[in-house]
């Protein structure tokens, strides 16, 4: 019975490689055949021993793994959109820190006043690309509204004038060249009548995060909550509380970047805003105007007081 080359090689191999290393098979020296057989063994058998690596294969993610084999379902971690709000007294000469309670500013009729605190919501944040398209953060949240459960982009931020660190709006993974940012001052009108106790405890709209941003008597969120002193004397210790209802907004704000920015894959984008807070009162009479006149004047100036100071990326 005739034997194949590999059957003959196997018989010789069983008898001992060292004693048959120079035996010639039909037209092929054994020392040539052995490396060939070893290569075939490696090619066909070793891959079955390799365990494929499941990891993040999305190049936009911060944990993108170039050496991965199988895309994971939910292991990718994406960059963040962060915004910093710097409230300042902006003058032609310089920008000065807001001196809460102890610095004096002037309203629209020349009367001095002091600021105790400033808080307000922004939402509906969109990065605007040079081609005109908008990009939002990735997160959404379902909220029970009076008209039923509704999905919202979960980019709500509560701004506190005394806080000057970056706030995280959410994860952001749309890679484009951007030259503007848009957002709403205040909250979507669809949130009117929402019970804040139905929100997760750690959510910015939950009352345990800041109960002063909800009007419990009338049952709605506030756009803003401001406290000012109508006088500059030390005896004025009771601030005027300005509860700005959400129905005063939302107000659309669009801000141009100092220059366009190409967002690289895997990098956070950080936007620093400068807000001229004393200018909110430049059309107001803080002593004599009632709330129904004073608050609309303040809101109209609030939406005009933002500028983009800087846009950077960070990994």
What is the pLDDT averaged over residues 231-251?
88
Does the pLDDT value for residue 271 go beyond 60? Answer: yes
Query: Per residue in 62-117, pLDDT tens?
Result: 887 767 767 777 889 999 999 999 999 998 888 888 888 888 999 999 999 999 99
What is the model's pLDDT at position 64? 79
Question: With contact defined as beta carbons under 8 Å apart, do 310 and 264 qualify?
Answer: no
Range name among 56-70, 98-112, 124-138, 192-206 with the lowest pLDDT average: 56-70
| C-alpha distances in Å from residue 7, one per residue of 4, 41, 59, 147, 160 | 5, 15, 50, 79, 82
Model confidence at 7, pLDDT cuts 50, 70, 90, reads very low
Does the pLDDT value for residue 293 go beyond 80? Answer: yes
Q: What is the pTM of this model?
A: 0.81
Does the pLDDT value for residue 144 go beyond 80? Answer: yes
Query: Per residue in 23-62, pLDDT tens?
Result: 454 555 555 555 666 565 555 555 556 577 778 888 889 8
Model confidence at 1, pLDDT cuts 50, 70, 90, reads very low
């Amino acid at each position: 019975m005739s034997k194949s080359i590999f059957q003959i090689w196997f018989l010789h191999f069983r008898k001992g490689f060292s004693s048959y290393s120079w035996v010639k098979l039909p037209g092929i020296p054994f020392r040539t055949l052995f490396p060939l057989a070893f290569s075939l063994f490696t090619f066909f058998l070793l891959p079955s021993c390799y365990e494929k690596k499941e990891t993040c294969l999305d190049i936009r993610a911060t944990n993108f793994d170039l050496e991965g084999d199988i895309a994971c379902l939910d292991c990718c971690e994406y960059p963040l959109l962060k915004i910093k709000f710097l409230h300042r007294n902006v003058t032609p000469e310089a920008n000065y820190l807001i001196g809460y309670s102890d610095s004096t500013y002037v309203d629209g009729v020349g009367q001095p006043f002091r600021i105790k605190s400033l808080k307000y919501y922004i939402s509906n944040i969109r990065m605007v690309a040079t081609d005109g398209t908008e990009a939002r953060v990735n997160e959404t949240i379902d909220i029970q509204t009076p008209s039923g459960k509704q999905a919202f982009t979960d980019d709500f931020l509560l701004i506190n004038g005394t806080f000057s660190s970056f706030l995280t709006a959410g994860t952001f993974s749309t890679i484009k060249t951007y030259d503007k940012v848009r957002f709403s001052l205040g909250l979507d009108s669809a949130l009117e009548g929402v019970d804040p106790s139905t929100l997760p405890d750690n959510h910015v709209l939950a009352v345990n995060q800041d109960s002063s941003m909800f009007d419990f008597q009338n049952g709605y969120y506030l756009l803003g909550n401001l406290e000012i002193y109508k006088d500059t004397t030390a005896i004025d210790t009771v601030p005027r509380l300005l509860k700005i209802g959400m129905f005063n907004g939302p107000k659309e704000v669009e801000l141009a970047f100092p220059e366009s920015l190409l967002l690289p894959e895997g990098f956070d984008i950080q936007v620093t805003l400068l807000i001229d807070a004393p200018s909110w009162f430049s059309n107001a009479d803080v002593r004599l105007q009632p709330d129904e006149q004073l608050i609309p004047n303040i809101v109209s100036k609030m939406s005009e007081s933002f500028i983009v100071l800087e846009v950077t990326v960070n990994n």
